[in-house]
A = this chain, B = another copy of it.
Amino acid sequence: MAERTRPKPGETREKLMDAALALVGKGRHFASLGIREVTRQASVVPTSFYRHFKNMDDLGLQLVDELGLVLRRMMREARSYVLQADKLIDESVGIFISHAQNNRSFFMFMAQGLAGESRAVQEGIRSEMRYFASELANDLRRLRVVDHLNDADLDMTCDLVVRSVAFSLTDILSLAPDDEPQIEQVRKRTARFLQLIFVGAANWRR
């Protein structure tokens, strides 16, 4: 090979996924990306793409898997920071928003994928959200903050919470990354959404 550094196995694969993500982060929609465009951004020859992915949908699916890792890392951080229940909402929303800003491209990809054109990607993201909601339900049980709800109602509540937060995601992502005042407003509004939901849960079928 004429290269000076020998590419480790999987390096090109990562470069391709990062390239796709970078393009999404620049405002492009994943569905409109082409193989050549991605390989160009990755400084790789088009043919290499096929060594790692069958087509763009395949790449999308693997991005969903990585997205799962990001979400799990976020949950771990949230769990370690939020010890007492009184500041639970504000701190969790804060952590979520800061992760959304630090992994802007990833979360853009997620927001796009929910209504994307690949059924498989769509289902993958939906499944990540379900997992997230069920973990949230576990945590709330553990913190004994919703003792009066049965499992089904708790699941519903957590589902609604996750959906609301996910929707706020699109608010944040449509803002400039450094527009602090607006971001602060989204943070406050999201927290109030969650408070409203939890007030509802607290008075549910009393």
Q: Which residues of A contact B (CB under 8 A)?
A: 27-29, 31-32, 108, 111-112, 114-117, 119, 122-123, 126, 156-157, 159-160, 163-164, 166-167, 170, 173-174, 189, 192-193, 196-204
Contact = CB atoms under 8 A, between A and B. Distances in A.
Contacts of A197: 160, 196-197, 200
Contact of A114 (B27, B31, B157, B170): B170
Nearest to A115: B111
In the A-B complex, list the 10 residue pairs whose CB atoms are closest, starting with the nearest. Answer: A200-B200, A29-B31, A29-B117, A111-B115, A199-B200, A196-B200, A31-B32, A203-B203, A112-B115, A163-B167
Contacts of A123: 174
A32 to B, nearest CB: 4
This chain's copy number in the assembly: 2
Interface SS majority for chain A: helix
Contact of A29 (B116, B157, B196): B116
Contact of A204 (B32, B159, B170, B196): B196
Nearest to A195: B200
B160 A117 contact: no
